[in-house]
Structure 1
Amino acid sequence: MVRRIVELVDARGTTLGECSVEEAHQPPGRLHRAFSIMLFDARDRVLLQRRALSKSRFPGLWANTCCSHPAAGEDVAESAAKRLDEEMGLHVGQLREVGTFVYQALDGHGAAEHEFDHVLLGELDSSVPLTPDRTEIEELAWLPYADLVTDAAARPERYAPWVPGVIELIERTRSTS
Protein backbone atom coordinates (compact mmCIF):
# COMPACT_ATOMS: atom_id res chain seq x y z
CA MET A 1 0.00 0.00 0.00
CA VAL A 2 1.34 3.42 -0.98
CA ARG A 3 1.53 5.86 1.92
CA ARG A 4 0.09 9.14 0.64
CA ILE A 5 1.38 12.36 2.17
CA VAL A 6 -0.66 15.57 2.49
CA GLU A 7 0.47 19.12 3.08
CA LEU A 8 -0.46 20.59 6.46
CA VAL A 9 -1.43 24.28 6.32
CA ASP A 10 -2.68 27.08 8.53
CA ALA A 11 -6.04 28.84 8.04
CA ARG A 12 -4.47 31.09 5.36
CA GLY A 13 -3.07 28.16 3.38
CA THR A 14 0.55 28.63 4.44
CA THR A 15 2.43 25.34 4.45
CA LEU A 16 3.35 24.07 7.92
CA GLY A 17 4.57 20.55 7.19
CA GLU A 18 3.40 17.13 6.07
CA CYS A 19 1.75 14.00 7.40
CA SER A 20 0.07 10.88 6.07
CA VAL A 21 -3.50 11.00 4.76
CA GLU A 22 -4.51 8.61 7.53
CA GLU A 23 -3.01 10.81 10.24
CA ALA A 24 -4.62 13.96 8.79
CA HIS A 25 -8.05 12.33 9.00
CA GLN A 26 -7.87 11.14 12.61
CA PRO A 27 -10.42 13.09 14.70
CA PRO A 28 -10.57 16.01 15.08
CA GLY A 29 -8.55 16.22 11.84
CA ARG A 30 -5.39 18.14 10.99
CA LEU A 31 -5.82 21.10 8.64
CA HIS A 32 -4.43 20.11 5.24
CA ARG A 33 -4.63 21.17 1.60
CA ALA A 34 -7.31 19.60 -0.60
CA PHE A 35 -9.16 20.38 -3.81
CA SER A 36 -12.71 20.01 -5.10
CA ILE A 37 -13.47 20.01 -8.82
CA MET A 38 -16.87 20.81 -10.28
CA LEU A 39 -17.39 20.15 -13.99
CA PHE A 40 -20.22 21.84 -15.90
CA ASP A 41 -21.67 21.01 -19.28
CA ALA A 42 -23.08 23.43 -21.87
CA ARG A 43 -26.58 23.20 -20.29
CA ASP A 44 -25.33 24.33 -16.85
CA ARG A 45 -25.51 20.84 -15.41
CA VAL A 46 -22.89 19.60 -12.97
CA LEU A 47 -21.34 16.17 -12.89
CA LEU A 48 -21.76 14.73 -9.40
CA GLN A 49 -20.41 11.54 -7.92
CA ARG A 50 -21.78 9.38 -5.16
CA ARG A 51 -18.79 8.28 -3.13
CA ALA A 52 -18.07 4.54 -3.12
CA LEU A 53 -19.52 2.65 -0.18
CA SER A 54 -16.01 1.39 0.58
CA LYS A 55 -14.58 4.91 1.09
CA SER A 56 -13.10 5.53 4.54
CA ARG A 57 -14.71 8.97 4.83
CA PHE A 58 -18.32 9.90 4.02
CA PRO A 59 -19.13 6.75 2.00
CA GLY A 60 -22.26 6.78 -0.14
CA LEU A 61 -22.76 10.56 -0.03
CA TRP A 62 -23.08 12.74 -3.11
CA ALA A 63 -20.19 15.09 -3.78
CA ASN A 64 -18.77 17.33 -6.47
CA THR A 65 -17.21 15.79 -9.59
CA CYS A 66 -13.88 14.92 -7.99
CA CYS A 67 -11.90 15.74 -4.87
CA SER A 68 -8.58 14.75 -3.39
CA HIS A 69 -5.33 16.09 -1.97
CA PRO A 70 -2.34 17.40 -3.88
CA ALA A 71 0.98 15.94 -2.85
CA ALA A 72 3.04 18.27 -0.69
CA GLY A 73 4.40 21.03 -2.91
CA GLU A 74 2.44 19.87 -5.98
CA ASP A 75 0.56 22.42 -8.10
CA VAL A 76 -3.12 22.17 -7.18
CA ALA A 77 -4.49 22.44 -10.76
CA GLU A 78 -2.01 19.85 -12.06
CA SER A 79 -2.87 17.49 -9.23
CA ALA A 80 -6.60 18.00 -9.87
CA ALA A 81 -6.24 17.22 -13.59
CA LYS A 82 -4.25 14.09 -12.75
CA ARG A 83 -6.92 12.96 -10.28
CA LEU A 84 -9.71 13.41 -12.86
CA ASP A 85 -7.76 11.07 -15.14
CA GLU A 86 -7.22 8.51 -12.35
CA GLU A 87 -10.83 8.49 -11.09
CA MET A 88 -12.70 8.83 -14.39
CA GLY A 89 -10.30 8.67 -17.31
CA LEU A 90 -11.18 12.30 -18.05
CA HIS A 91 -8.95 14.84 -19.72
CA VAL A 92 -10.50 18.28 -19.50
CA GLY A 93 -9.21 21.59 -20.77
CA GLN A 94 -8.32 24.22 -18.25
CA LEU A 95 -9.45 24.03 -14.65
CA ARG A 96 -10.02 27.46 -13.12
CA GLU A 97 -9.60 28.01 -9.39
CA VAL A 98 -12.38 30.20 -7.96
CA GLY A 99 -11.32 30.34 -4.34
CA THR A 100 -10.67 28.44 -1.14
CA PHE A 101 -12.51 27.73 2.08
CA VAL A 102 -11.88 25.80 5.30
CA TYR A 103 -14.25 23.24 6.75
CA GLN A 104 -14.14 20.60 9.46
CA ALA A 105 -16.47 17.62 9.86
CA LEU A 106 -16.68 14.23 11.57
CA ASP A 107 -18.14 11.43 9.46
CA GLY A 108 -19.63 9.24 12.22
CA HIS A 109 -17.41 6.29 11.21
CA GLY A 110 -14.30 7.30 13.14
CA ALA A 111 -12.76 9.68 10.59
CA ALA A 112 -12.61 13.45 10.22
CA GLU A 113 -12.06 16.09 7.60
CA HIS A 114 -10.32 19.41 8.28
CA GLU A 115 -9.39 20.84 4.93
CA PHE A 116 -8.21 24.00 3.26
CA ASP A 117 -10.15 23.31 0.07
CA HIS A 118 -9.27 24.83 -3.33
CA VAL A 119 -12.33 24.88 -5.61
CA LEU A 120 -11.69 24.40 -9.33
CA LEU A 121 -14.24 24.64 -12.14
CA GLY A 122 -14.08 23.16 -15.60
CA GLU A 123 -16.18 22.30 -18.61
CA LEU A 124 -16.99 18.87 -20.00
CA ASP A 125 -19.04 17.71 -22.95
CA SER A 126 -21.74 15.57 -21.32
CA SER A 127 -21.60 13.08 -24.21
CA VAL A 128 -18.02 12.07 -23.28
CA PRO A 129 -18.05 8.48 -22.00
CA LEU A 130 -17.23 8.23 -18.31
CA THR A 131 -15.23 5.33 -16.87
CA PRO A 132 -15.34 5.77 -13.08
CA ASP A 133 -12.99 3.91 -10.77
CA ARG A 134 -15.49 1.86 -8.75
CA THR A 135 -13.22 1.84 -5.70
CA GLU A 136 -13.75 5.63 -5.59
CA ILE A 137 -17.15 6.23 -7.18
CA GLU A 138 -20.42 4.38 -6.63
CA GLU A 139 -22.45 6.37 -9.15
CA LEU A 140 -22.27 9.43 -11.43
CA ALA A 141 -25.08 11.80 -12.36
CA TRP A 142 -25.56 15.02 -14.32
CA LEU A 143 -27.79 17.44 -12.41
CA PRO A 144 -28.88 20.97 -13.29
CA TYR A 145 -26.76 23.26 -11.12
CA ALA A 146 -29.85 25.11 -9.81
CA ASP A 147 -31.31 21.75 -8.67
CA LEU A 148 -28.08 20.94 -6.82
CA VAL A 149 -28.23 24.25 -4.96
CA THR A 150 -31.86 23.63 -3.96
CA ASP A 151 -31.42 19.96 -3.03
CA ALA A 152 -28.20 20.48 -1.05
CA ALA A 153 -29.95 23.16 1.03
CA ALA A 154 -33.11 21.07 1.55
CA ARG A 155 -31.41 17.70 2.16
CA PRO A 156 -27.84 18.31 3.35
CA GLU A 157 -27.58 14.80 4.78
CA ARG A 158 -27.34 13.44 1.21
CA TYR A 159 -24.16 15.42 0.49
CA ALA A 160 -20.56 15.38 1.64
CA PRO A 161 -19.94 18.19 4.16
CA TRP A 162 -17.72 20.20 1.80
CA VAL A 163 -20.41 20.55 -0.89
CA PRO A 164 -22.01 23.67 0.71
CA GLY A 165 -18.63 25.43 0.66
CA VAL A 166 -18.12 24.50 -2.99
CA ILE A 167 -21.58 25.84 -3.86
CA GLU A 168 -20.97 29.05 -1.90
CA LEU A 169 -17.78 29.78 -3.86
CA ILE A 170 -19.49 29.03 -7.18
CA GLU A 171 -22.38 31.34 -6.22
CA ARG A 172 -19.95 34.10 -5.25
CA THR A 173 -18.10 33.67 -8.57
CA ARG A 174 -21.35 33.83 -10.54
CA SER A 175 -22.55 36.95 -8.74
CA THR A 176 -19.36 38.84 -9.64
CA SER A 177 -19.24 37.66 -13.27
Structure 2
Amino acid sequence: MPMMPDDVVLLDAAGRPNGRAPRAHVHDHATPLHLAFSCYVFDSQGRVLLTRRSLAKRTWPGVWTNSFCGHPRPGEEPRAAVVRHAASELALVLDDLELVLPRFRYCATDASGVVENEVCPVWFATTRRAPDPDPAEVAELRWVTPQELGRAVDAAPWALSPWMVEQVLQLGDLVEDDTTTSPSDLVGMVG
Protein backbone atom coordinates (compact mmCIF):
# COMPACT_ATOMS: atom_id res chain seq x y z
CA MET A 1 0.00 0.00 0.00
CA PRO A 2 1.58 3.33 -1.03
CA MET A 3 2.16 5.90 1.69
CA MET A 4 -0.04 9.01 1.55
CA PRO A 5 1.81 12.32 1.17
CA ASP A 6 2.15 14.12 4.50
CA ASP A 7 0.37 17.25 3.29
CA VAL A 8 -1.75 19.64 5.31
CA VAL A 9 -4.97 21.35 4.26
CA LEU A 10 -4.45 25.08 3.67
CA LEU A 11 -7.35 27.37 4.58
CA ASP A 12 -8.52 30.81 3.48
CA ALA A 13 -9.26 33.57 6.01
CA ALA A 14 -12.80 32.22 6.48
CA GLY A 15 -11.47 28.75 7.31
CA ARG A 16 -12.40 27.13 3.99
CA PRO A 17 -9.98 24.69 2.30
CA ASN A 18 -8.06 26.38 -0.50
CA GLY A 19 -5.03 24.18 -1.17
CA ARG A 20 -2.46 21.84 0.27
CA ALA A 21 1.21 21.96 1.20
CA PRO A 22 3.80 19.53 2.60
CA ARG A 23 3.63 19.57 6.42
CA ALA A 24 7.43 19.72 6.62
CA HIS A 25 7.42 23.07 4.77
CA VAL A 26 4.37 24.75 6.31
CA HIS A 27 5.58 25.66 9.82
CA ASP A 28 7.99 28.58 9.59
CA HIS A 29 8.06 32.31 10.39
CA ALA A 30 5.11 32.99 8.05
CA THR A 31 2.97 29.88 8.52
CA PRO A 32 -0.19 29.94 6.40
CA LEU A 33 -3.53 29.19 8.04
CA HIS A 34 -4.12 25.44 7.92
CA LEU A 35 -6.24 22.67 9.43
CA ALA A 36 -5.17 20.74 12.53
CA PHE A 37 -6.79 19.13 15.59
CA SER A 38 -6.15 18.60 19.30
CA CYS A 39 -7.32 15.62 21.34
CA TYR A 40 -7.65 15.09 25.09
CA VAL A 41 -7.66 11.41 26.08
CA PHE A 42 -9.26 10.26 29.35
CA ASP A 43 -8.84 6.99 31.22
CA SER A 44 -11.46 5.01 33.15
CA GLN A 45 -10.73 7.09 36.29
CA GLY A 46 -11.57 10.36 34.53
CA ARG A 47 -7.93 11.48 34.33
CA VAL A 48 -6.65 13.28 31.25
CA LEU A 49 -3.39 12.35 29.53
CA LEU A 50 -0.85 15.17 29.18
CA THR A 51 2.26 14.77 27.08
CA ARG A 52 5.56 16.60 26.95
CA ARG A 53 6.57 17.18 23.36
CA SER A 54 9.77 15.51 22.20
CA LEU A 55 12.89 17.66 22.32
CA ALA A 56 13.27 16.87 18.59
CA LYS A 57 9.97 18.60 17.69
CA ARG A 58 10.33 21.61 15.42
CA THR A 59 7.81 23.72 17.36
CA TRP A 60 7.50 23.94 21.13
CA PRO A 61 10.04 21.18 21.87
CA GLY A 62 9.84 19.91 25.44
CA VAL A 63 6.61 21.76 26.25
CA TRP A 64 3.74 20.06 28.11
CA THR A 65 0.51 19.90 26.14
CA ASN A 66 -2.74 17.99 25.62
CA SER A 67 -2.69 14.27 24.79
CA PHE A 68 -1.82 14.73 21.11
CA CYS A 69 -2.27 17.00 18.12
CA GLY A 70 -2.04 16.51 14.40
CA HIS A 71 -3.13 17.47 10.92
CA PRO A 72 -5.76 15.77 8.78
CA ARG A 73 -4.47 15.01 5.31
CA PRO A 74 -6.31 16.41 2.29
CA GLY A 75 -9.49 14.38 1.79
CA GLU A 76 -9.14 12.60 5.17
CA GLU A 77 -12.19 12.58 7.42
CA PRO A 78 -11.33 14.46 10.68
CA ARG A 79 -12.37 11.59 12.96
CA ALA A 80 -10.14 9.20 10.98
CA ALA A 81 -7.19 11.61 11.34
CA VAL A 82 -7.62 11.69 15.13
CA VAL A 83 -7.77 7.88 15.30
CA ARG A 84 -4.68 7.61 13.03
CA HIS A 85 -2.62 9.97 15.18
CA ALA A 86 -3.64 8.28 18.44
CA ALA A 87 -2.39 4.97 17.07
CA SER A 88 0.86 6.31 15.59
CA GLU A 89 1.91 8.69 18.39
CA LEU A 90 0.67 6.83 21.48
CA ALA A 91 -0.34 3.31 20.30
CA LEU A 92 -3.83 4.05 21.61
CA VAL A 93 -7.22 2.78 20.52
CA LEU A 94 -9.81 5.48 21.17
CA ASP A 95 -13.36 5.06 22.44
CA ASP A 96 -16.18 7.62 22.64
CA LEU A 97 -14.60 10.23 20.37
CA GLU A 98 -16.48 13.54 20.78
CA LEU A 99 -15.93 16.92 19.06
CA VAL A 100 -16.12 19.60 21.79
CA LEU A 101 -14.68 22.81 20.27
CA PRO A 102 -15.37 22.58 16.53
CA ARG A 103 -14.20 26.11 15.66
CA PHE A 104 -11.13 26.57 17.87
CA ARG A 105 -8.56 28.76 16.11
CA TYR A 106 -5.27 30.17 17.32
CA CYS A 107 -2.01 31.73 16.20
CA ALA A 108 1.12 31.58 18.37
CA THR A 109 4.87 32.00 17.93
CA ASP A 110 7.39 29.82 19.77
CA ALA A 111 10.76 30.97 21.15
CA SER A 112 12.52 30.18 17.86
CA GLY A 113 10.09 32.35 15.88
CA VAL A 114 8.17 29.48 14.26
CA VAL A 115 4.48 30.32 13.96
CA GLU A 116 1.52 27.99 14.50
CA ASN A 117 -1.52 29.32 12.61
CA GLU A 118 -4.32 26.81 12.78
CA VAL A 119 -8.01 26.11 12.77
CA CYS A 120 -7.77 23.32 15.32
CA PRO A 121 -11.00 21.52 16.34
CA VAL A 122 -10.74 19.98 19.81
CA TRP A 123 -11.78 16.38 20.52
CA PHE A 124 -12.30 14.34 23.70
CA ALA A 125 -11.80 10.58 23.72
CA THR A 126 -11.48 7.75 26.20
CA THR A 127 -9.20 4.73 26.14
CA ARG A 128 -8.81 1.51 28.07
CA ARG A 129 -5.19 0.99 27.01
CA ALA A 130 -1.94 2.28 28.42
CA PRO A 131 -0.14 4.63 26.03
CA ASP A 132 3.13 3.55 24.43
CA PRO A 133 4.50 6.86 23.11
CA ASP A 134 6.63 7.27 20.01
CA PRO A 135 9.82 8.95 21.38
CA ALA A 136 10.07 11.11 18.24
CA GLU A 137 6.75 12.69 19.29
CA VAL A 138 6.53 12.40 23.09
CA ALA A 139 9.28 12.82 25.72
CA GLU A 140 7.09 12.14 28.78
CA LEU A 141 3.49 11.67 29.77
CA ARG A 142 1.35 12.08 32.87
CA TRP A 143 -2.25 11.28 33.79
CA VAL A 144 -3.78 14.18 35.75
CA THR A 145 -7.23 15.03 37.02
CA PRO A 146 -9.12 17.79 35.21
CA GLN A 147 -8.80 19.86 38.39
CA GLU A 148 -4.99 19.44 38.39
CA LEU A 149 -4.88 20.54 34.77
CA GLY A 150 -7.02 23.57 35.56
CA ARG A 151 -4.72 24.51 38.45
CA ALA A 152 -1.65 24.15 36.20
CA VAL A 153 -3.19 26.46 33.58
CA ASP A 154 -4.04 29.00 36.29
CA ALA A 155 -0.62 28.80 38.01
CA ALA A 156 1.86 28.43 35.14
CA PRO A 157 0.40 29.03 31.68
CA TRP A 158 3.91 29.90 30.44
CA ALA A 159 5.01 26.28 31.05
CA LEU A 160 2.30 24.81 28.79
CA SER A 161 1.54 24.92 25.08
CA PRO A 162 -0.32 28.13 24.19
CA TRP A 163 -3.03 26.20 22.33
CA MET A 164 -3.76 24.02 25.38
CA VAL A 165 -4.00 27.06 27.65
CA GLU A 166 -6.47 28.74 25.26
CA GLN A 167 -8.45 25.51 24.83
CA VAL A 168 -8.77 24.91 28.57
CA LEU A 169 -9.94 28.49 29.09
CA GLN A 170 -12.52 28.17 26.29
CA LEU A 171 -13.72 24.84 27.65
CA GLY A 172 -14.12 26.45 31.06
CA ASP A 173 -16.21 29.22 29.52
CA LEU A 174 -18.74 26.69 28.20
CA VAL A 175 -20.27 26.12 31.62
CA GLU A 176 -20.82 28.27 34.66
CA ASP A 177 -20.47 25.78 37.51
CA ASP A 178 -19.62 22.10 37.11
CA THR A 179 -17.82 20.01 39.72
CA THR A 180 -17.96 16.56 38.12
CA THR A 181 -14.94 14.82 36.62
CA SER A 182 -16.15 12.76 33.65
CA PRO A 183 -14.49 13.44 30.26
CA SER A 184 -17.41 15.51 29.00
CA ASP A 185 -17.11 17.62 32.15
CA LEU A 186 -13.55 18.81 31.53
CA VAL A 187 -15.22 22.08 30.62
CA GLY A 188 -15.76 22.72 34.34
CA MET A 189 -12.12 22.41 35.37
CA VAL A 190 -11.08 26.08 35.36
CA GLY A 191 -12.41 28.65 37.73
Normalised to the residue count of structure 1, the TM-score between the two structures is 0.89
The answer for unaligned runs of 5 or more in structure 2 is 179-184, 186-191
Among residues 63, 81, 85, which one is paired with 2:87 in the alignment?
85
Query: What is the percent sequence identity of the aligned residues?
Result: 31
CA deviations over 1:21-49 (Å, ceiling 9, x no partner): 23321113211000000012243321000
Alignment match, 1:116? 119
Name the CA distance, whole Å, in 1 between partners of 2:19 and 2:169.
28
Counterpart residue identity of residue 29, structure 1: T
Name the CA distance, whole Å, in 2 between partners of 1:16 and 1:136.
28
Larger mean Cα displacement after TM superposition, 159-168 or 32-41: 159-168
Alignment match, 1:138? 139
Normalised to the residue count of structure 2, the TM-score between the two structures is 0.83
Instruction: Report the Cα offset of residue 155 of structure 1.
Output: 0.7
Among residues 37, 59, 64, which one is paired with 1:57 in the alignment?
59
Alignment match, 1:163? 164
Equivalent positions of 1:34-73 (< 5 A) are: 34-73=36-75
Question: Which 4+ stretches in 1 moved above 4 angstroms?
Answer: 172-177
Name the CA distance, whole Å, in 2 between partners of 1:117 and 1:10.
14
CA deviations over 1:37-82 (Å, ceiling 9, x no partner): 0012243321000000111000000010010101012111110101
Alignment match, 1:20? 22
Aligned pair count reads 174
Name the CA distance, whole Å, in 2 between partners of 1:3 and 1:124.
28
Change (3 A) 1:166 1:92: same
Contact kept, 8 Å, 1:98 with 1:169, in 2: the verdict is no
Structure with the bigger RCO (C-alpha within 8 Å, sep 6+) is 1
More strand by share: 1
Instruction: Report the Cα offset of residue 168 of structure 1.
Output: 3.2
Instruction: Report the Cα offset of residue 103 of structure 1.
Output: 0.7
Name the CA distance, whole Å, in 2 between partners of 1:39 and 1:174.
20
The answer for unaligned runs of 5 or more in structure 1 is none
Name the CA distance, whole Å, in 2 between partners of 1:91 and 1:50.
20
Partner SS, residue 94 of structure 1:
strand
Alignment match, 2:188? none
Name the CA distance, whole Å, in 1 between partners of 2:34 and 2:93.
26
